[in-house]
Amino acid sequence: MTSQIVSPAEMDQAIATLRAGELLAFPTETVYGLGADASNPDAVRKIFKLKGRPSSHPVIVHIQDVTQLSRWARDVSPMAMKLAAAFWPGPFTLVLKRAPQVSEVLTGGQDTIAIRVPRHPIAQQLLAAFGGGIAAPSANRFGHVSPTLASHVRDEFGDSLLVLDGADCEIGLESTIVSCVMDIPQLLRPGGITLSQLRAVVPAVSGVVTQDAPRAPGMLDKHYSPDTPIHLIHSEDLRQVADDYRRKGQQIAVLAMQPSINTNNFTSWINAGDNPLAYGHSLYANLRQMDKLGTMAILIEQVPGDESWQAVRDRLQRAAAK
Ligand code: TXA
Ligand code: MG
């Protein structure tokens, strides 16, 4: 098993990399981040360049703990503080009004800033040693599947990028984002923390994104996508659709919640099970594995409609969007 901290020598190299204004990848409990010194606009620009990400898409600043918040945000409401106290460190990101000295490069020109305190031991070790904020989107090319293993990051960006290896990410889906910029806190992206968990702390949290909510440009319809076309299929249609491809002699990959109903040379079948946490944990690794097969299509069995599946459902819908 990979150690949950890195050696002093590797940490020295990581800190030197950040201080030199260069990029590195590091694990969090959600997905791997592509990090840069958040106080150095030139370093942050390199993130956008390497990812191929439009400069209008703001990035999350990672900090060690809530005491560093005032460096980045202003007018933090009592509700925001309650959420921070409940879910930091963890898979949770707050969108707040930005402090005056925060660079527009981080915020995509908006007056708001996204902040997260991750709990992965290596992320915590890195933030403690660095002292400042680390800007980090997911460590993947723009619009592509997020990485949940160090090897995924290398597949995206090659071997020249320093990657701190923290084995597989515990949650495997990106953080829950809540905007506390307006009076009513608003869920912008479902993730490791569910709406019920948020409401248990602050009952007012809204799950409906209204029109004047701050835009979260990462929430483009098409996102988290492999290259192979993805089709979401209802459970009762799965066998029929898989058979139709086979009859045409077309290879497919299937991501299902049940054992294979269709063993033949044309079909590669992954049973991801019916536990939403385990399913989410391995979703991106499964998508990457299926994408590599180069099949005609990826068929994904529709997951249940209840809240425990909300984050998974959201990512599947985006992965399948045309
Ligand atoms: O789990 C995560 O959140 C991972 C790890 C590395 O922390 N990060 C991540 O970053 O998913 P990224 O850049 O791939 O997604 C961040 C999302 C994007 O949809 C972005 O538009 C949104 O957060 N966002 C960032 N700043 C924002 C802001 N000021 N207002 C609204 N949305 C914002
Ligand atoms: Mg991303």
**For ligand 1, is residue 113 a contact (CB within 6 Å)?**
yes
**For ligand 1, is residue 57 a contact (CB within 6 Å)?**
yes
- Residue closest via CA to ligand 1's atom 10 equals 137
**For ligand 1, is residue 31 a contact (CB within 6 Å)?**
yes
What separation, in Å, do the N-terminal and C-terminal C-alpha atoms of the chain show?
39
**For ligand 1, is residue 85 a contact (CB within 6 Å)?**
no
pLDDT tens-digit map of 250-293: 999 999 999 987 677 778 999 999 999 999 999 999 999 999 99
Choose the weakest-confidence range: 129-143, 217-231, 261-275: 217-231
For residue 181, list its beta bridge partners.
none
Q: Is 21 helix (H, G, I), strand (E, B) or coil?
A: coil
**Ligand 1: nearest atom to the Cα of 57:** 21
What pLDDT, on the 0 to 100 scale, is given for residue 208? 67
What pLDDT, on the 0 to 100 scale, is given for residue 221? 61
- Nearest ligand to the C-alpha of residue 169? 1
- Residue closest via CA to ligand 1's atom 17 equals 218
Domain 230-320, what architecture? Answer: 3-Layer(aba) Sandwich (3.40)
Q: Is 93 helix (H, G, I), strand (E, B) or coil?
A: strand
Please tell me which residue, 88 or 211, carries the higher pLDDT value: 88
- Residue closest via CA to ligand 1's atom 19 equals 218
Q: What is the pTM of this model?
A: 0.95
In the chain, CATH 3.40.50.11030 covers 230-320
Q: What does each C-alpha distance from 62 to 47, 106, 304 come to in angstroms? A: 14, 12, 32
Q: 8-201: CATH homologous superfamily?
A: DHBP synthase (3.90.870.10)
CA dihedral 81, 87, 92, 94 (to 10 degrees): 0
pLDDT at 219 over 60: no
Q: Which of 55, 59, 314 to mutate to test the pocket of ligand 1 (most atoms within 8 A of CB)?
A: 59
pLDDT band at 222 (very low <50, low <70, confident <90, very high): low
What mean pLDDT is predicted for residues 108-133?
97
Q: Which of 32, 63, 93, 170 to mutate to test the pocket of ligand 1 (most atoms within 8 A of CB)?
A: 93
pLDDT at 211 over 50: no
pLDDT tens-digit map of 303-320: 999 999 999 999 999 999
In the chain, CATH 3.90.870.10 covers 8-201
The protein residues having their C-beta less than 5 angstroms from ligand 2 (an ion) are 138
Q: What does each C-alpha distance from 8 to 3, 129, 134, 167, 282 come to in angstroms? A: 13, 10, 19, 18, 30
Query: How close is the Cα of 264 to the center of ligand 2, in Å?
Result: 35
pLDDT band at 213 (very low <50, low <70, confident <90, very high): very low
What average pLDDT is seen over the chain?
93
What pLDDT, on the 0 to 100 scale, is given for residue 322? 74
What pLDDT, on the 0 to 100 scale, is given for residue 266? 78
pLDDT tens-digit map of 11-62: 999 999 999 999 999 999 999 999 999 999 999 999 999 999 999 999 999 9
- Residue 73 tokens read as 């945000």
pLDDT at 210 over 70: no
What pLDDT, on the 0 to 100 scale, is given for residue 39? 98
Query: How close is the Cα of 174 to the center of ligand 1, in Å?
Result: 8
